[in-house]
Amino acid sequence: MVVGSSMGGYLALLLLRRLLTDAPAEAARIRSLVLIAPAWDMTERIASRLTDEARRDLAANGVWYRPSRYGDGPYPITQRLLTEGRQHLIGSSAFDPGRAVHILHGLQDPDVAWEHTLDLVAHLDGDWTRVSAVPDGDHRLSRPEDLELLLRTVESAMA
């Protein structure tokens, strides 16, 4: 099982896709994915929403510091990340994960819209994906009740 949250969810999808192509025996070891508000194709979404100031920072310095709501300082977004991200888009072609994909997503998430998960579900081939919407959950889903849902989901995926 691979578990990923936000960008980690995107990376989990990329990992599985690469292994399915390049190392099927290794891919077979991944029995399921558990994703929390997966920010798939996030580099394109960031690039499409850059302010003029952010574009200037990227052009002048190669980096823009995206403010964070979480008190852990701004997130560095580099031009290299955005450029390289274009080579790793999930949405550029159909993708059949071939195994269970469990997605948890807070409906009050200000960072990755709920609709983004719905778009992913529509994009994934097969009938593998199950989504749990958390009506009052935010992006991090880190409250005790959210963590309990995550543990139940992981246990279910392992069964």
pTM, 2 dp: 0.90
What is the pLDDT at residue 94?
83
Quote the CA–CA distance of 115 and 42 in Å, as a whole number: 14
**Interval 24-47 mean pLDDT:** 96
List C-alpha distances in Å: 124 to 5, 49, 151.
18, 25, 24
Contact 2, 29 (CB under 8 A): no
**Interval 84-98 mean pLDDT:** 91
Share of the chain above pLDDT 70, in %: 100
Quote the CA–CA distance of 33 and 147 in Å, as a whole number: 16
Please report the domains of the chain, with CATH numbers, ordered by start residue: 1-38+94-159 (3.40.50.1820), 42-88 (no CATH)
Share of the chain above pLDDT 90, in %: 88
Contact 64, 109 (CB under 8 A): no
What is the pLDDT at residue 1?
96
> Is pLDDT of 155 > 90?
yes
**Interval 44-62 mean pLDDT:** 94
Given pLDDT bands bounded at 50, 70 and 90, which one contains residue 28?
very high
Handedness of CA 145, 141, 131, 118 (dihedral sign): positive
Q: What is the mean pLDDT of the chain?
A: 94
